[in-house]
Amino acid sequence: MPTSSARPDEVELVVVGGGTAGILTATTAAALGARVVMIERAPAPGGDCLWTGCVPSKSLLSAARSVAAVRAGAHGLPGATGDVDLGSVLAAVQAAIDRIAPDDSVETLTAAGVEVRRGTARFTGPRSLEVDGVPVGFDQAVVATGSEPRLPAVPGLAELAPLTSDTVWGLETLPARLLVLGGGSIGCELAQAFARLGSHVVLAEVGPRLLPQEDADAAELVRHALTFDGVDVRFGAAAVGVTAGGVTLADGSTARADRVLVAVGRSPRTAGLGLEAAGVAVDGQGRVLVDDHLRTSNPAVWAAGDVTPHPQYTHLAGVHGSVVAANAVLGLRRRASAVLVPRVTFTDPEVAAVGLSPEQGRTQGRRVVRVEHRAVDRAVAEQRTDGFTTLVLDRRRRVVGALVVGPRAGETIGEAALAVQRRVSVSALVGVTHPYPTFNDGLWNAAVGEYRSWLGGRPVRSVLDALRRIRRARRQAGRRLG
C-alpha cells in the first residue's frame, strides 16, 4: 500500500471534476490503493463525453445516416419523404446515454473505491479547497474540470439564444433553417447530422477550409460530402452582426436562420475555481499549465483532460487520468508527451489520423504512400470510393503516420496507431494477413504496394537475381548428377 502524508482530516487525493479525466484518475488512484475523493457538481458523473459530447453526437449521426439512406431511395426502393420527428431521434439518443451511464455512476465509482461528493469545488489555498462551502484539506489534488463552448462576441448574437453542444440536445423541433458557426469537428458533425435530418443548414467557417487540424485533401472530401447533403458551406465567414434579415457574415453574405448553433472552439472551465489561491498558473486562454508529467505550478496539484492545453479528446482525457494517478500516487514520472493521440471526425466519410500527417511528412522529407479507395474492393462493393488511405514512412520504412478518409475510417486508425506506436515496418504490416474484403485493405494495400516497389528497387533486385541464379545453378547441377 502506498503511504500517505495526508493528515487524518485530509484527503490523500482530491479529484475535481467527474468527467472522463476525473473518473480515470480517481478509479486508477483507488486501484493503486489511495484514498480518493472525487467532486462533481453535475447531478451525475460522466462529463461532457457522456451527456453532451461523444455519445449523443455519435448517436445523432447514426440516426442521420439512416435517414439519409432511406431518403436516397437506394436499391430500387422509393425514396421516403416527410419530416423526421426530432423527438423520436433524441429519445434514441437519450436511450444510448442511459445505457452507458451506469458505467460512470456513483454506485460504480463507489464500488471501485472512490468516494464521490456532489458539489462545486473551489480552491482556497495551496492544499485546501471547499465544496459548496465545506472545507476539505488535501495531500494532492487533480484539476479535471474540462472545457465548455466558447461564444464569439458578436453584437446581437446573445439575443438569438444561440445553441451550443451543451444545449442542442434539448431542441423540441427540428429547426427549418440552422446556421452553424465553426467548421471544426463539432460544426462538421452536427451540420451534417441536422442537414440529413431535414434542416436547411448554413455552415459558416472563419478560415479558408473545414477541419483546419487535418490535411487539406481530407477537409475537401468532407466539404464535398456536406455540400452533397445540402449544407451551404461558406468560408471566410465569421458572424459579424445580426440584422432583421439574419446573421451577417464576414464574407458579405447573410444567413437567415431559425436557430444558430455555435461551435467555434471550447474554453477551459477554470473561472471561479480559485486557482490563484492554489498557486496554479494558467495560460492566456485560461488553460491550466502543466509540465510533461501533468503537474501544475503547485507541486501538490495536477491537471488532466480538456482543462489543460493538450488536445481535447475523450481517449486522451482517459489516458491523462491514468498518467496523473500513477505519477501522483506512486511517484512515477509517466510523460504526457509519450502518449500517441489518434483522432477521428465522425462525419460521413470519417476522417481519421494518427502520428505525422501526410502534409507534415512531405515537409519533413518522409515517404508518403497513398491508396485511393476506388482500388479497395470493399469500398467499391459498397459504392463508397470517395476516400483514401495514406501511410507516412520513415527512412527504414516504418509507419510514423496515417490518414484515412472513408466509411469506418475510425476503425482502421486503431491498427495504424498500433503500427505507429510500435514502429511497425511496412514488411511487418505486409506479413499480417488481413481479412478480405474490408476497408482496412486500404492500409494493407498501401503497405503491399510500398513493399513491392521496394522489391522492385535496384539493390533488392540484384540480390533476388543472384539468389535465383544460385537456385538455377543448383538445380542444373542436381540434374547432371542425377
Ligand X SMILES: NC(=O)c1ccc[n+]([C@@H]2O[C@H](COP(=O)([O-])OP(=O)(O)OC[C@H]3O[C@@H](n4cnc5c(N)ncnc54)[C@H](O)[C@@H]3O)[C@@H](O)[C@H]2O)c1
Q: Based on the shown chain and the rule CB under 6 A, indicate whether residue 34 belongs to the binding site for ligand FAD.
A: no
The residue (of 109 and 222) whose beta carbon lies closer to ligand X is 222
Q: Based on the shown chain and the rule CB under 6 A, indicate whether residue 322 belongs to the binding site for ligand FAD.
A: no
CA atoms within 13 A on the CB side of 177: 9
Which of these ranges, 259-267, 269-277, 418-426, 462-470, lies near ligand X under the rule CB under 6 A?
Answer: 259-267
> For residue 414, which of 474, 366, 344, 463 has the smallest C-alpha distance?
344
3-state secondary structure of 201: strand
Residue type, 473: A
CA distance linking residue 166 with residue 362, whole number of Å: 39
Which of these ranges, 42-50, 290-298, 418-426, 433-441, lies near ligand FAD under the rule CB under 6 A?
Answer: 42-50
Q: Per-residue contact track with ligand X, 64 to 93, x per CB under 6 A?
A: ------------------------------
> For residue 403, which of 356, 349, 341, 339 has the smallest C-alpha distance?
356
Q: From residue 68, how far is each of 72, 89, 197, 294, 321 by CA, in Å?
A: 6, 13, 7, 43, 38
DSSP secondary structure of 305-357? GGGSSS---HHHHHHHHHHHHHHHHH-----GGG----EEE-SSSEEEEEES-
Q: Based on the shown chain and the rule CB under 6 A, indicate whether residue 350 belongs to the binding site for ligand FAD.
A: no
Q: From residue 468, how far is each of 164, 477, 480 by CA, in Å?
A: 67, 14, 18
- The continuous run of DSSP H or E covering 240 comes out as strand 239-243
Vertex 353 angle, CA 181 and 347, to 5°: 40
Residues 6+ apart with CB under 8 A from 158: 151
CA distance linking residue 16 with residue 310, whole number of Å: 18
Q: Based on the shown chain and the rule CB under 6 A, indicate whether residue 306 belongs to the binding site for ligand FAD.
A: yes
The residue (of 348 and 450) whose beta carbon lies closer to ligand X is 348
Q: Of residues 417-456, which lie at the interface with ligand FAD (CB under 6 A)?
A: none
Q: From residue 75, how far is each of 72, 79, 198, 408 by CA, in Å?
A: 9, 10, 21, 21
The residue (of 141 and 231) whose beta carbon lies closer to ligand FAD is 141
User: Torsion angle of alpha carbons 277, 280, 286, 287, nearest 10°?
Assistant: -150
Q: Based on the shown chain and the rule CB under 6 A, indicate whether residue 17 belongs to the binding site for ligand FAD.
A: yes
Question: Which partner in ligand FAD, ligand X, none is near 121 (CB below 5 to 8 A by kind)?
Answer: ligand FAD
Which of these ranges, 20-28, 89-97, 193-201, 462-470, lies near ligand FAD under the rule CB under 6 A?
Answer: 20-28
Question: Which partner in ligand FAD, ligand X, none is near 392 (CB below 5 to 8 A by kind)?
Answer: none
The residue (of 130 and 232) whose beta carbon lies closer to ligand FAD is 130
Q: Per-residue contact track with ligand FAD, 206 to 235, x per CB under 6 A?
A: ------------------------------
Q: Based on the shown chain and the rule CB under 6 A, indicate whether residue 143 belongs to the binding site for ligand FAD.
A: no
Q: Based on the shown chain and the rule CB under 6 A, indicate whether residue 41 belongs to the binding site for ligand FAD.
A: yes
Question: Which partner in ligand FAD, ligand X, none is near 90 (CB below 5 to 8 A by kind)?
Answer: none
Question: Which partner in ligand FAD, ligand X, none is near 145 (CB below 5 to 8 A by kind)?
Answer: ligand FAD
Q: Per-residue contact track with ligand FAD, 55 to 94, x per CB under 6 A?
A: --x-------------------------------------
288 neighbors 295 (Cβ within 8 angstroms): no
The residue (of 234 and 269) whose beta carbon lies closer to ligand FAD is 269
Q: Of residues 94-123, which lie at the interface with ligand FAD (CB under 6 A)?
A: 120-121
- State the pairing for strand pair 343-345/200-205: unpaired
Cell of 59: 448517436
Q: Based on the shown chain and the rule CB under 6 A, indicate whether residue 261 belongs to the binding site for ligand FAD.
A: no
Straight-line distance from the first to the last Cα atom of the chain, in angstroms, rounded to the nearest whole number: 75
Q: Based on the shown chain and the rule CB under 6 A, indicate whether residue 144 belongs to the binding site for ligand FAD.
A: yes
> For residue 388, which of 436, 429, 445, 451 has the smallest C-alpha distance?
445
Q: Of residues 213-242, which lie at the interface with ligand X (CB under 6 A)?
A: 238-239
Residue positions in the annotated binding site for NAD(+)?
A: 182-189, 205, 265
Residue positions in the annotated binding site for FAD?
A: 58, 145-147, 306
Using CB under 6 A, list all residues that contact ligand FAD.
16-22, 39-42, 47-49, 53-54, 57, 120-121, 144-146, 165, 186, 269, 273, 305-306, 312-315, 317, 346
Using CB under 6 A, list all residues that contact ligand X.
152, 181-187, 189, 204-207, 212, 238-239, 263-266, 311-313, 343-346
